[in-house]
Structure 1
Amino acid sequence: MLSLIEQVSYHILIVLLPFIVYHLFIREEKQFREKINSKLLYISLTILILTMSNPIEFSEGFLYDFRVIPILFLLLYGGVKPGITLIIIMFLFRFSIGGAGLYVTLINYTLLVLFFVVLTAKFQPYTLRRRLLVISLLCGFSSFNRMITLTITGQLDQLSFMFIFSILTWITLIILIFIIENLDKQIIFDKRIQSAERLNLVSQIAASVAHEVRNPMTSIKGFLQLIFQEKNLNESQYRYIEISLSELERAEDVINDYLSLAKPTSIEDFSELNVTAELHSMLDIITSYTNSNNIAIESNIQEGILTKGKKSEFKQAILNIMKNSVEAINKNGTLTVRAYQLKSNIYIEIADNGIGMSKEQVELLGTPYYSTKDKGTGVGLALTYKIIRDMKGKITVQSEKGVGTTFIIKLPFL
């Protein structure tokens, strides 16, 4: 029995230690784990080889190891392609070391993959509780298969050890889940710190430069307007002055956005905000813009939705998103706006069927200096994210290339 405990402890150690190293020093982001050459696959492969190279032999021909942990973990957090790649390597290694039970292993892991695909088709949006439930079901499925095999082969004396080993497998896997979830939270937190530092830098630049730039710009704009009133100008000169004035106005808008980012927001300045009325008002404003581009608007806004905030800032944030959606459609599309209350939260959904974005582009949204538009600065959306964040809200973006984009704004109900 002591020997069995030592062997089980060894297997727990070789599973946990590489993942702790992965958590502390590698810190791979979600999108990179889904690739075939991901570091998570290499870590899982290392664990797989170590645990299969020195299995626990309960009796002759019946071996136990923790191979299911790296396989199941990689399927859950790396995706199907890396997971199946690891399973193929496992079968090749299993074939090379020989022994009975190869076909049973093949059937079990094929069923496990199918079971995983069916249960976790929508795994990513799940809460941690639901993820743990999925993991528990998969572990239970694996244990049930092993129990059936032992019963058929008449190895009933192994059932008690098998149950203990299965429970330890489940506990080890749960520990790994919390390790990776903690890593994901740290990565998100680090990104928020970096974003906050960039915003702080933008604020400092805006405060020191904006006023210096505004004075000469105001003078130039004033003189151009005076020249524009002259009657001895030809058509080309009028057109050049119009272009210059419009570009100056665009530059002023950019400066104003930077100054808005620099301006601290006080919650004490917030008042009751009628989201329903403001959304209807903004739809009226955007309609003239959509009509000229032959874009239809579909809206479904619940009555009596209230929150706290500044009316002008809220309008600016929503209009920024609506304008971006319309520009993504370009022509002959549909802008959909929905707003509803669910429990203690308000949800505003602004969707378009435009060009869409990749996962990498979605990740960078709200970052100053990043924009998907040729002449964009990224400040508009950065300001939008800041306004919603100041209102204790959150913005989630769902997008697919060639399909469209949906902005989901979550705000607390008054």
Structure 2
Amino acid sequence: MIESLLINFFFLLLPVLIFLIFFEYRSFTYNKFIIFLLTAISMILCMEFPIQLEIGYIVDLRYIPFLIFALYTGYRYTFFLYITLNVTRFFIGNEGFWQSLLFSTIILFVVPLLHQWFIRQFPKRRILCAIIVAVSTMIFYLTSLIAFFPELNGEYWTMAIHTLITHALVMAVITILIEKINANREARELLFQSEKIDLVSNMAASVAHEIRNPLTVTNGFLQLLRQSQTITKDEQKYIEFSLIELKRAEGIVSDFLAFSRPQCANMVYSNLQAETEYVKNIMTPYANMHKVQMQLSFRNNLTLQYDKNQIQQCFINLFKNAIEAMRETGGTLSVDVIEDVKAVIVKINDTGIGMGKEEIAQLGRPYYSTKKEGTGLGMMMVYSTISKLNGKIKVESEKGKGTTFIINIPAA
């Protein structure tokens, strides 16, 4: 029995090992078809080599990959895994096919309902949730077997205890490995992002001041030239265009300078209330101009240490982007500041045009912007500021339904 259990455990580890060796560093790493294929192979192997208990019963671990896949991916791909499971079970034969079909059908309709809630949880909660789902599923399965037992003797309870313990432990190990892979991926992306931000910061410190001086001089001369009485209307128009472009160039230089400033000039200990209310007040006229309503909810007593000016600029950039995402049809910008376990959560939600997964993945990268006239430096400044606070940014968005920025900052 121990040998069969270890073999089944290896079958469940096999997709993780293949994933780490061949796919983790590739661009299509998180293609769901690849994950589906690896999960299906693991599940089929578990069914082909079941565990023979000493008391005479046969069990396998097929439902562990099935449950994990359902929790992490939802209905769409889980349906194909459901088909794979039952086709394989049909060809294996023996008694119990109809019971397996009924049980897997119930799982298909129930477990993927948890997907959206499951994904939003923190890693430790996801691990705990996966264990609870596995144990609950097996309790339901074992309860359904009571109809086939004339009496609940010691053999049944021995099988039940072995099954529950095995599924709980194996589910815990596999989900911990999955969460570790996800954590490594996020850490790697943060490292790449940090390196890019440092590169831009170094360029900003050495170049921005040198560029600003000639821009200021040129702006001054154009202002004087605009007041001349001898220039034509066409020349006046060209000067206006030049001044507009100079103003835009100065804005880009100011964004560059935001990266080179260390977080020390205006450090404060606070709970973000003053900063969020200040930014809401100064952005309200801009929101009204685009028919956007602003709602602020504040429920936080935890204290953070941060640069007041930089955190205000961070919120200004996020609020401005959210408002501009709704400028065609109007909408509502909701800002919630709440406290979690030793962390402050800032949720900024709009009802605008939304973004696709590829656009979300590019956010915060140098010179990437979803706006035609954008430079991407404002969003880079946001990621840089939150990174300096050891915080994390999570983005949830869907085309046509809006975007939510979830900022998690550890409390001081």
TM (normalized to structure 2)? 0.86
- Cα deviations across residues 241-300 of structure 1 (Å, max 9, x unaligned)? 11111111211211221122133323x851245744444433332233233333333444
1:43 is paired with a residue of what secondary structure? Answer: helix
2:292–2:332 Cα contact (<8 Å) kept: yes
Any residues of structure 2 matched to 1:12-411 within 5 Å, and which? Answer: 12-27=9-24, 33=30, 35=32, 37=33, 39-57=34-52, 63-120=58-115, 122-127=117-122, 128-129=124-125, 131-146=127-142, 148-149=144-145, 152-154=148-150, 157=155, 159-266=157-264, 269-273=266-270, 275-300=272-297, 307-342=304-339, 346-411=344-409
Structure 1 residue 188: Cα displacement? 0.3
State the alpha-carbon separation in 1 of the partners of residues 273 and 53 from structure 2: 67
State the alpha-carbon separation in 2 of the partners of residues 10 and 303 from structure 1: 50
2:373 is paired with a residue of what secondary structure? Answer: coil
2:395 is paired with a residue of what secondary structure? Answer: strand
Structure 1 residue 325: Cα displacement? 1.5
State which drifts further: 382-391 or 40-49.
Answer: 382-391
Distance 1:64 1:273, change over 3 A: closer
State the alpha-carbon separation in 2 of the partners of residues 72 and 18 from structure 1: 15
- Cα deviations across residues 170-207 of structure 1 (Å, max 9, x unaligned)? 21121101000000000000000000111122123323
State which drifts further: 348-357 or 51-60.
Answer: 51-60
1:314–1:387 Cα contact (<8 Å) kept: yes
Structure 1 residue 380: Cα displacement? 0.5
- Which letter maps to 1:92? V
Distance 1:380 1:180, change over 3 A: same
TM (normalized to structure 1)? 0.86
State the alpha-carbon separation in 1 of the partners of residues 262 and 141 from structure 2: 60
- Cα deviations across residues 96-141 of structure 1 (Å, max 9, x unaligned)? 2322111011111112223313455511112323542343333332
Distance 1:412 1:70, change over 3 A: closer
1:41–1:86 Cα contact (<8 Å) kept: yes
2:249 is paired with a residue of what secondary structure? Answer: helix
State which drifts further: 113-122 or 256-265.
Answer: 113-122
Distance 1:239 1:74, change over 3 A: same
- Which letter maps to 2:148? I
Distance 1:107 1:301, change over 3 A: closer
- For the aligned residue pairs, the C-alpha RMSD in angstroms reads 3.3
State the alpha-carbon separation in 2 of the partners of residues 189 and 350 from structure 1: 23
2:294 is paired with a residue of what secondary structure? Answer: strand
Distance 1:51 1:138, change over 3 A: closer
State the alpha-carbon separation in 1 of the partners of residues 133 and 300 from structure 2: 42
State the alpha-carbon separation in 2 of the partners of residues 358 and 114 from structure 1: 27
2:178 is paired with a residue of what secondary structure? Answer: helix
1:61–1:100 Cα contact (<8 Å) kept: no
State which drifts further: 367-376 or 133-142.
Answer: 133-142
2:130–2:171 Cα contact (<8 Å) kept: no
- Which letter maps to 2:3? E
Number of matched pairs: 408
- Which letter maps to 1:152? F
Distance 1:307 1:73, change over 3 A: closer
State the alpha-carbon separation in 2 of the partners of residues 80 and 399 from structure 1: 19
Structure 1 residue 40: Cα displacement? 1.6
1:66 is paired with a residue of what secondary structure? Answer: coil
Structure 1 residue 358: Cα displacement? 2.2
Structure 1 residue 393: Cα displacement? 4.3
Distance 1:222 1:72, change over 3 A: same
State the alpha-carbon separation in 2 of the partners of residues 379 and 242 from structure 1: 25
- Which letter maps to 1:322? F
State the alpha-carbon separation in 1 of the partners of residues 100 and 389 from structure 2: 54
Contiguous gaps of at least 5 residues in structure 1? none
State the alpha-carbon separation in 1 of the partners of residues 298 and 138 from structure 2: 48
Distance 1:292 1:305, change over 3 A: farther
State the alpha-carbon separation in 1 of the partners of residues 148 and 266 from structure 2: 72
Distance 1:305 1:172, change over 3 A: closer
1:34–1:82 Cα contact (<8 Å) kept: no
1:15 is paired with a residue of what secondary structure? Answer: helix
